[in-house]
Every structure is written in structure tokens, then in C-alpha cells.
């Protein structure tokens, strides 16, 4: 089988091996493929039977121009880069990688939250700049320090990552409330399910772990923020468009929201005019919560397993058909 990886650098910048795919067929890896040039995408796919993509768009006209495609693997959990209807019409299975980043993303929630609460980076820089040496006191701090024990975390979206985040929160002594369209017995053992308005009213920290849908785009906005406590902390490691970024910026600058930690934004890479870049107490990182090497190795292993299962006639993690 001829296998094409269209944007290998997205998950493997060089610290992982492609040998799992090499064992399954003739492999060609492109580090990046431009989304704005369909001719290049079509040329690179050529007569390949299996294509693996992370962010490269596979549209209906690309599928039409590449009739050899028998399998599409998305090396991510989200699969909105694929025209599923067009793939289904041609009988092409599309697979994704669920659950590979649960540990890394839930850990990252607390990397953002602890930086907000303790300002470790800032205080380390201050020490190196001589502020402690010059201090007349035994110790100093110039940001409020926040203890998480006794605070309430509100988790919007209570799947694998949301539940793992809840367990970590409880080890910090936090209370946890959660909102999810459907409820599970496993979830109920970890947190109290509540409606969104109650979550907003009770939470000291609101963290997002839901998929992006037409119904929840911009769910964090002026109206929902008005229902939250003064001084709330908002964390988003899910999808950027869940947040109305101008409304969050306004709330941060007004002090209604104490701080925000976001690993995702509405357009990525972030645009220079994104309002969050000028917001007070806003910590922005470049969509890396999923990216520890352990997480990416799971991603690679499962992408190989998906293709191998397809070749064996028992496809898994199929999101269409």
C-alpha cells in the first residue's frame, strides 16, 4: 500500500519514528502541506491509497481528483478537516485518534492554573533580576497568591479529559461541579452534575473541555461571564471559538474575570490583532497541551493501529460510514 503523510511535523517534529507506518507499506512523509494550494495537495496524494493528515484539508474536490484513496487517517481527535459526506459517498473510511491526550491536557490545565495562582515564572524572573536581593524583607511577592484548596472548579464538558481534570482538582482539595449534555454514573462519582447557569454561579475556576458545535460557539461571552463570580478564573484547552475573545478581554480588563489561561484561540496561529494579546492577566500558549512526547507517541501508535486494523479488514475508530 502507498501511504502519504501530508503534515508529519504537526505530530512528529523529528523525535519519533515512522517505522510503524513503514512496516505497512510504501511511505512518503511531507513535513508540511499548504492548505491554500489544492493543486499541491492533489499532486502529493497522487495515486496513494492511504493518506494521513493532521491539519491538511481533504475536500470533496480533492477526493474526486484522487480516486486511488481507500483510507483517510486523521492523526488527531478532531476530524473537521475532512469532508466526511464526500468520503462516505465514496466508501472511504475516515478514522481519528480518541483519548490519546487525556493525561497531558488535564495536566496542562493545572500548568495554566498554577501559573495564575502562584506566578512562578514571574517570581523566578524577579529573583534573577535582583528584586529579592534588594528586598528589605525575608521574602517578597508582588502578585496575589491563591490557594486552590476549598475553591470550586466548574468543568464544562465531562468526558475523559474533563473527568481526569476533576480527579486532579480533588487532590488539590477543590470541590467540583460539571456540566455535560449527557450524564454518566462514572462522572457522578467524581463531581456533581449541574446546569450551566449554576456552574457559572458557583465556580471559582471555569475550565472548558467540550467539543465545538454550532450550539456552543462563543459560549463564554458577556452574558455568561456576567453570571460568574467576580474574580473568576477561566481556562480553555478545548477549542478557541468556544470563547468570544473580545468579551473575555473586556471582562479581564475590567477585573470581572481575574485571569484567563488559554492554549487555544479562534484563529491559529494567533493573529496579531487578537484582543486577548492586550488583555490583563491573560496567559496564552500556542496549542501545546497535547504535545508532550508521551502523548504524541500514543498518537503515533494509535494512528498506526488504525491503519493496520483497516488493512486487516476490521477498521476501528471510524467516524463516518
Please tell me the predicted confidence (pLDDT) of residue 299.
98
Which residues carry out catalysis? 239, 268, 287
Give the Cα separation of 90 and 100 in Å (integer). Answer: 28
Total of domains in the chain: 2
Grid coordinates standing for 285?
A: 500558549
Please report the DSSP string for 146-205 in residue order. Answer: ---TT-EEEEE--SHHHHHHHHHHHHTT-EEEEE-SS--HHHHHHSEE--HHHHHHH-SE
Whether residues 134 and 280 share a domain: the answer is: yes
Among the listed residues 46, 15, 16, 14, the one whose alpha carbon sits nearest the alpha carbon of residue 28: 46
φ, ψ of residue 213 in degrees (nearest 5): -130, 170
Whether residues 49 and 155 share a domain: the answer is: no
Please report the DSSP string for 45-65 in residue order. Answer: HTT-SEEEESS--B-HHHHHH
Grid coordinates standing for 95?
A: 478514522
Among the listed residues 158, 273, 255, the one whose alpha carbon sits nearest the alpha carbon of residue 210: 158
Whether residues 255 and 158 share a domain: the answer is: yes
- For residue 321, CA distances in Å to 41, 86, 95 come to 24, 11, 10
What is the C-alpha radius of gyration for the chain, rounded to an integer number of angstroms?
A: 22
Among the listed residues 65, 23, 20, the one whose alpha carbon sits nearest the alpha carbon of residue 41: 65
Angle ∠(76,77,78) on CA atoms, nearest 5: 95
Examine residue 321 and state whether it is found in any structural domain, yes or no.
no
Grid coordinates standing for 18?
A: 515512522
Examine residue 302 and state whether it is found in any structural domain, yes or no.
yes
Please tell me the predicted confidence (pLDDT) of residue 3.
98
Please tell me the predicted confidence (pLDDT) of residue 272.
98
Whether residues 161 and 266 share a domain: the answer is: yes
Whether residues 164 and 214 share a domain: the answer is: yes
Structural domain including 268 reads 102-284
Examine residue 66 and state whether it is found in any structural domain, yes or no.
yes
φ, ψ of residue 132 in degrees (nearest 5): -75, -40
Please tell me the predicted confidence (pLDDT) of residue 142.
93
Give the Cα separation of 229 and 202 in Å (integer). Answer: 7
Please tell me the predicted confidence (pLDDT) of residue 180.
98
Q: pLDDT per position in the chain (321 positions), as tens?
A: 999 999 999 999 999 999 999 999 999 999 999 999 999 999 999 999 999 999 999 999 999 999 999 999 999 999 999 999 999 999 999 999 999 999 999 999 999 999 999 999 999 999 999 999 999 999 999 999 999 999 999 999 999 999 999 999 999 999 999 999 999 999 999 999 999 999 999 999 999 999 999 999 999 999 999 999 999 999 999 999 999 999 999 999 999 999 999 999 999 999 999 999 999 999 999 999 999 999 999 999 999 999 999 999 999 999 998
Whether residues 173 and 87 share a domain: the answer is: no
Residue 243 near residue 264 (C-beta atoms within 8 A): no
Whether residues 94 and 190 share a domain: the answer is: no
Please tell me the predicted confidence (pLDDT) of residue 238.
97
Residue 319 near residue 84 (C-beta atoms within 8 A): yes
Strand partners, 257: 232
Residue 238 near residue 266 (C-beta atoms within 8 A): no
Give the Cα separation of 316 and 307 in Å (integer). Answer: 9
Please tell me the predicted confidence (pLDDT) of residue 149.
98
**Number of residues assigned to the chain:** 321
* pTM (2 d.p.): 0.95
Handedness of CA 245, 248, 252, 258 (dihedral sign): negative
Whether residues 201 and 251 share a domain: the answer is: yes
Please tell me the predicted confidence (pLDDT) of residue 8.
98
Whether residues 259 and 113 share a domain: the answer is: yes
Whether residues 213 and 176 share a domain: the answer is: yes
Contacts of 158 (CB under 8 A, 6+ apart): 166, 178, 179, 180, 184, 187, 191, 193, 209
Among the listed residues 239, 201, 237, the one whose alpha carbon sits nearest the alpha carbon of residue 217: 239
**DSSP 3-state assignment of 58?**
strand
Grid coordinates standing for 262?
A: 488559554
Amino acid at each position: 500500500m502507498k501511504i502519504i503523510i501530508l503534515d508529519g511535523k504537526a505530530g512528529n517534529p523529528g523525535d519519533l519514528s515512522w517505522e510503524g507506518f513503514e512496516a505497512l507499506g510504501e511511505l512518503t512523509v511531507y513535513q508540511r502541506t499548504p492548505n491554500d494550494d489544492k493543486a499541491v495537495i492533489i499532486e502529493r496524494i497522487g495515486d496513494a491509497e492511504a493518506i494521513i493528515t493532521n491539519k491538511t484539508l481533504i475536500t470533496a474536490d480533492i477526493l474526486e481528483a484522487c480516486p486511488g484513496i481507500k483510507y483517510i487517517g486523521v492523526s488527531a481527535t478532531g476530524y473537521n478537516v475532512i469532508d466526511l459526506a464526500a468520503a462516505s459517498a465514496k466508501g472511504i473510511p475516515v478514522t481519528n485518534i480518541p483519548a490519546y491526550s487525556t493525561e497531558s491536557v488535564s495536566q496542562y490545565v493545572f500548568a495554566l492554573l498554577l501559573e495564575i495562582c502562584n506566578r512562578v515564572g514571574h517570581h523566578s524572573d524577579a529573583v534573577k533580576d535582583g528584586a529579592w536581593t534588594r528586598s528589605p524583607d525575608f521574602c517578597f511577592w508582588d502578585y496575589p497568591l491563591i490557594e486552590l484548596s476549598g475553591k470550586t472548579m466548574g468543568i464544562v464538558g465531562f468526558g475523559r479529559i474533563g473527568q481526569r481534570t476533576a480527579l486532579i482538582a480533588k487532590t488539590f482539595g477543590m470541590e467540583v461541579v460539571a456540566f455535560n449534555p449527557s450524564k454518566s454514573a462514572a462522572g457522578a462519582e467524581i463531581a456533581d452534575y449541574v446546569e450551566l447557569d449554576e456552574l457559572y454561579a458557583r465556580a471559582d475556576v471555569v475550565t472548558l473541555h467540550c467539543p465545538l458545535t454550532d450550539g456552543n460557539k462563543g459560549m463564554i461571552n458577556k452574558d455568561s461571564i456576567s453570571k460568574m463570580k467576580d474574580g473568576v478564573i477561566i481556562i480553555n484547552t478545548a477549542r478557541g471559538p468556544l470563547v468570544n475573545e473580545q468579551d473575555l478581554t473586556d471582562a479581564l480588563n475590567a477585573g470581572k474575570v481575574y485571569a484567563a489561561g488559554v492554549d487555544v484561540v479562534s484563529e491559529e496561529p494567533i493573529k496579531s490583532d487578537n484582543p486577548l494579546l492586550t488583555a490583563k492577566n491573560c496567559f496564552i500558549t500556542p496549542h501545546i497541551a497535547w504535545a508532550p512526547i508521551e502523548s504524541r507517541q500514543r498518537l503515533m501508535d494509535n494512528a498506526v493501529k488504525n491503519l493496520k486494523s483497516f488493512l486487516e479488514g476490521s477498521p476501528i475508530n471510524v467516524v463516518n460510514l
